[in-house]
Amino acid sequence: MVKSEIGQLDLIFHALADSTRRSIMRGISKKQKTVSEIAKPFTMSLAAVSKHLKVLENAKLIDRKKEGSYQIVSLNAETLKTADQWISYYQQFWGNRLDALQELLEEKKHEPKH
């Protein structure tokens, strides 16, 4: 009855299924932050944010390094790639998908807006 048999994909997708957590990802995507900095925009308690971070960390979507009395939190895009690969695989079966995505990527290269 191994309890830790929960797949990595389960953890990743579950972590991304919450808008607070996606918002955290967005917040640190541009620049790494401390836990308090991450928490500032939210109205919920720091403890709640701490829990969200643990969910993201368990899914290996973020990394932390201790720096003196705080922690620096940053994205782990390697893991995002795992999820992306799963999705991409199933999109194969949707014919024109590959070309569509490649076009999308081309656009982003030339016009790194947003």
Partner DNA sequence: CAATGATTTAACCAAATGGTTGACTCTATA
Partner DNA sequence: TATAGAGTCAACCATTTGGTTAAATCATTG
- Segment near DNA (CB under 7 A), from 41-49, 76-84, 94-102, 105-113? 41-49
DSSP state of 5: G
Identify any residues that bridge with 64 across adjacent strands, giving them in sequence order. 73
- Segment near DNA (CB under 7 A), from 13-21, 23-31, 76-84, 96-104? 13-21
Q: Do residues 18 and 56 touch, judged by C-beta distance below 8 A? A: no
Give the whole-angstrom CA distance, residue 16 versus residue 105.
Answer: 22
Write down the residue that tokens 């579950």 correspond to. 14
Q: Is 78 in the site for DNA (CB under 7 A)?
A: no
Q: Do residues 88 and 78 touch, judged by C-beta distance below 8 A? A: no
What's the min distance (Å) between Cβ of 107 and DNA? 32
Of the candidate residues 12, 24, 28, 55, the single one contacting DNA (CB under 7 A) = 55
The footprint of DNA (CB under 7 A) covers 3, 14, 17-18, 20, 34-37, 43-48, 50-55, 64, 68-71
